[in-house]
Amino acid sequence: MPRSQYAVQPPGRCLDASRPLDEEALGRGIDMRVIYQDSVRNDPATLAYAQWTTKHGGEVRTSPLLPPRLLVFDRTTAVVPIDPANSRLGALCTTSAGIMTSLVTLFEQTWDTAVPLGPTRERVTGNGITAQERELLKLLASGVTDEAAGKRLGVSLRTVRRRMSTLMERLEATSRFEAGPQGSPPRLALTPGSAPPSRPAPATGPDRRRVSSRKRSRLEAQGPPPASSGCTYPFTGR
């Protein structure tokens, strides 16, 4: 019997078929962790299921973007779709140590950056942009279409366009490419009154002449460069 079960669950999961299996697992005290997309908070049925999971002892977190669907049992066995774009084609089960290490690491990294399911609907970064809004800006600024961005984030095309309109107004941006950098996490800023680190000034006057004299003496001591053979690497073919 498995003792732990980790899952990455993109939108479209069959909840009715999953409930009996999850209920049995939770009843045995299995350590169950599930990651949904942030958009699950806008889906009443999936949100209710996630809340049911936490009520019965499971842990649920959400993230703006998710890797492909993934199930991990006891950190030793994983089930992944053969084609992430069409899970109906079947699944692949693996116990290979190398593959398992990568898949468990992928899950843990996604889990660490996700937030627990709770009353807080959206995470707000330092510049007032939520995590999902920041991902939307990054996707669109990279040239992804509205429809593709919606699929990645698990939201409708209408929602993407409505949010972009709101973001451009809030950021006072005239285009999406202008809004993209403004939605990025703030970089290290200088404190008031401080100046950026300066580079050493180039040598001038007598100092410059001394440097040039030393360089010329070193080159003269090395002698002329060897004549070039016209071929950088050995040529063995004919």
Instruction: Give me the numbers of helices (H) and strands (E) for the chain, helices first please.
Output: 8, 7
Residues 12, 93, single domain; the answer is: yes
The reported pTM is: 0.59
Residues 60, 158, single domain; the answer is: no
CATH number of the domain within which 88 lies: 3.30.870.10
Residues 95, 165, single domain; the answer is: no
Residues 146, 65, single domain; the answer is: no
Residues 54, 103, single domain; the answer is: yes
Residues 105, 9, single domain; the answer is: yes
Residue 69 falls within a domain, yes or no?
yes
Number of domains in the chain: 2
Residues 56, 137, single domain; the answer is: no
Q: Quick one: pLDDT at residue 165?
A: 81
Residues 19, 83, single domain; the answer is: yes
Residue of 78, 8, 71 lying closest to 40 (CA atoms): 8
Q: Quick one: pLDDT at residue 205?
A: 55
Q: Quick one: pLDDT at residue 94?
A: 96
Q: Quick one: pLDDT at residue 202?
A: 54
From 167, 182, 197, the end of a domain falls on: 182
Residue 189 falls within a domain, yes or no?
no
Residues 153, 79, single domain; the answer is: no
Tokens, residue 113: 């950056």
Q: How far apart are CA 136 and CA 155, in angstroms?
A: 11
CATH number of the domain within which 164 lies: 1.10.10.10
Structural domain that includes position 61 = 4-116
Per-residue pLDDT of the chain (238 residues; tens, 9 = 90+): 678 999 998 765 677 788 898 999 999 889 999 999 888 888 888 888 999 999 999 999 998 888 889 999 999 999 999 998 888 899 999 999 999 999 999 999 999 988 888 755 455 555 667 777 787 888 888 888 888 888 777 777 887 888 788 777 777 777 666 666 555 544 433 344 444 445 545 555 555 555 455 556 555 565 555 544 443 333 334 3
Q: How far apart are CA 149 and CA 161, in angstroms?
A: 10
Q: Quick one: pLDDT at residue 11?
A: 64
Q: How far apart are CA 137 and CA 118, in angstroms?
A: 25
Q: How far apart are CA 67 and CA 105, in angstroms?
A: 12
Residues 149, 74, single domain; the answer is: no
